[in-house]
Amino acid sequence: MIGFLIGLVTTIATAVAILVLAAVAGFLIVYFYLAPRNYFFTFVKEGSAKAIMRAGKFEKILIQWEGRGLTENGDVSWFEEDKSFLRRLFGGLWYYGFWPLHDVYIYKFDWTGIKENGEPNPHQGKTLDYILVKEDVYRVEIKDAEDKDLLHLLVEVVMPIRIVNPRKALFDVENWLEAVIALVAPAVRDAITQDTYKNHIRNPESLGEKIFSLLKKQIKRFEKDYGVKILDIGIKNIDPPEEYREASIKEYLAEQEKKRIKILAEAQKQKLITEAEGERRRIEKVYGQTDKMGYIGQLKAILESMEKTGMAGVYAVPGLKEFIGEAVGKPTEKITPEDIAIFRKVAEEEIAKSKKPKSAKKKKPAKKRKEVTRKKKN
């Protein structure tokens, strides 16, 4: 009897161990093989939804977004979160049905998002098995929009968009983003024609607000029909053709060069005025001093001026041109630097002599004068 019980317990323990191992192995197979390939199971990421098809026909939507669920009409709405044990245990892992009778809807989608640094983030020809239901920003280019002057412009539009009904967005329109562009593009082109490019780029924010305001009714109807909610429209950039930008840059550089030349010319003018004024004052001062010192002083001043400034400095003083021939004894055009140095040295020596005080007469002692007087009396 005891042996039988031991055998039974061993058998049960073995069976339980096998079942546990099988469950673990099965979970690992589901998690790492079946779910990633959408066989029977699938992963639904936070903030997204997946459409489940049954033999090619839409059957249901699986949504994974904390605090939100789907109404009977398929609209995304706030719901009390499913807090069941299995739901909390497996999170975004869903069993959707018996594959291949049931399958996850897969489609191709092109879009351009915005990176954190503001740069475009293009996604071309991506194969998706989900649709993003939380808000995201989409970038769209509107080409060949003409301004008031018929200048062709490339307008970069950014739109925060949220999917409010995944089923409508996937199946009630061929491509929901192309439908959005078809709605917005004509309004953008029409708004661009109302003014010139230069005026538009001064305040692109107001242009986006104006377009959004004009499309308010169409946006509301679009949300109702296709389950796509456009939250705002912004104009990120307006670019003219390459040749226009090159011409604008050249015009700007030419204008800056013109300003630079004007500033340099004004500075040079002020420098010349200052130098001329300083030279005029120096010459007046020297001429005034030489006038007091007479002929020799004038000669010295002339020679110094010729050594420093050349003949142009001498001509600046009225009457010096005629005085040169008399002082130097040569025509002005034949005077050499050596002549100037010699004559200046002689002039300096003469001036130095003239500045020495004359020696005073010696007075005779008073006693001797008295003795001479006495002798005359005797």
What is the domain partition of the chain in residue ranges? 1-37, 106-240, 260-355
Contacts of 251 (CB under 8 A, 6+ apart): none
Q: What is the pLDDT of residue 169?
A: 96
Distance CA 129, CA 260 (A): 61
So what's the pLDDT on residue 275? 72
pLDDT recorded at residue 249: 54
Handedness of CA 193, 197, 199, 201 (dihedral sign): positive
Nearest Cα to 281, choosing from 317, 322, 312, 319?
317
pLDDT, position 328: 54
Going residue by residue through the chain (378 aa), what tens digit of pLDDT does each one get? 677 677 777 888 888 888 999 989 998 999 999 999 999 999 999 999 999 999 999 999 999 998 888 998 999 998 766 555 555 557 789 999 999 999 999 999 999 999 888 888 999 999 999 999 999 999 999 988 888 888 888 899 999 999 999 999 999 999 999 999 999 999 999 999 998 888 888 888 888 899 999 999 999 999 999 999 999 999 988 888 776 666 665 665 677 778 888 888 888 778 777 777 776 666 555 555 545 445 556 556 666 666 665 555 555 555 555 555 555 555 666 666 665 666 667 667 666 766 666 554 444 454 444 444 444 444
Query: Crossing angle, helix 204-214 and helix 216-226, to 10 degrees?
Result: 60
Distance CA 192, CA 146 (A): 6
Rounded CA gap, 274 and 261, in Å? 20
Give the pLDDT confidence score for residue 62 in this predicted structure: 94
d(C-alpha 35, C-alpha 67), whole Å: 24
pLDDT value at position 342? 64
Q: Write phi, then psi, for 53 (nearest 5 degrees).
A: -105, 150
pLDDT at 273: 78
Quote the pLDDT of residue 360. Answer: 47
Q: Which residues contact 107 (CB under 8 A, 6 or more apart)?
A: 127, 128, 170
Angle between helices 176-192 and 216-226 (to 10 degrees): 170
Question: What CATH number was assigned to the domain covering residues 106-240?
Answer: 3.30.479.30
> Which token pair is 374?
């006495």
Per-residue pLDDT at 9: 75
pLDDT score, position 376: 45
In eight-state DSSP terms, residue 56 is T
User: What is the 3-class SS of 199-221, one letter each residue?
Assistant: HHHHCHHHHHHHHHHHCHHHHHH
Q: How far apart are CA 126 and CA 65, in angstroms?
A: 23
Q: What are phi and psi of 185, to 5 degrees?
A: -55, -50
Please, are residues 51 and 105 in contact by the beta-carbon 8 Å criterion? yes
Tell me if residue 79 falls in helix, strand or coil.
Answer: coil
> Distance between CA 227 and CA 224 in Å, rounded?
6
CB 130 within 8 A of CB 50: yes
Strand extents, DSSP E, 120-163? 120-128, 131-132, 136-146, 152-163
